[in-house]
């Protein structure tokens, strides 16, 4: 048996572990850098669009930047979870009224790059049953 076959065989002998996944508690984070990331459909690989990724420093995980691409914003009369999609108008600017535009306005950003260096940005859980973090962009 080759080494590769031995590795594959040993992977088949693995059992379900009992170590819980560590989740980070909501906290104030610092936005270190931002970038747009292409999103593709998993089944076909077709491009869906681009979303903004905020690379943040969390106080409980100083050795690694955390990627956040969703936020909670006010939409109408309720708080909604929204992905920060790159949605451009005919002039090539961030579309007015889009979730990304609302978050930019909330944080006083004139251009997307203005997110970089923002300190004390509040995070919250995405949902009661989803402990992953998103940015809180409402009062």
Polymer length of the chain = 139
What are the residue ranges spanned by the domains of the chain? 24-136
Between 16-20, 80-84, 95-99, 112-116, the lowest mean confidence (pLDDT) is in 16-20
Phi, psi at 85, each rounded to 5°: -70, 145
Model pTM greater than 0.85? Answer: no
With beta carbons less than 8 A apart as the criterion, state whether 71 and 42 touch.
Answer: no
pLDDT at 4: 60
Does the pLDDT value for residue 1 go beyond 60? no
The two structure tokens encoding residue 91: 């002039």
Please state, in angstroms and rounded to a whole number, the distance separating the CA atoms of residues 58 and 51. 21
pLDDT on residue 3:
62
Q: What is the pLDDT of residues 89-126, one digit of tens each?
A: 999 999 999 999 999 999 999 999 999 999 999 999 99
DSSP 8-state code for residue 102: H
CA distance 133 to 95: 25
């Amino acid at each position: 048996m080759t080494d590769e076959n031995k590795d594959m065989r040993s992977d088949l002998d693995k059992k379900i572990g009992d170590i819980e996944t560590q989740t980070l508690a909501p906290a104030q984070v610092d936005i270190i850098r931002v970038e747009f990331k292409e999103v593709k459909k998993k089944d076909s690989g077709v491009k869906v669009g681009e979303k903004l990724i905020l690379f943040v420093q969390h106080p409980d995980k100083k050795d690694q930047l955390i990627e956040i691409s969703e936020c909670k914003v006010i939409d109408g009369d309720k708080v909604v979870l929204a992905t920060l999609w790159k949605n451009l108008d005919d002039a090539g600017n961030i579309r007015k009224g889009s979730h990304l535009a609302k978050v930019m306005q909330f944080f006083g950003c004139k251009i997307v790059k203005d997110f970089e260096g923002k300190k004390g940005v509040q995070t919250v859980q995405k949902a009661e049953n989803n402990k992953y973090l998103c940015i809180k962009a409402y009062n």
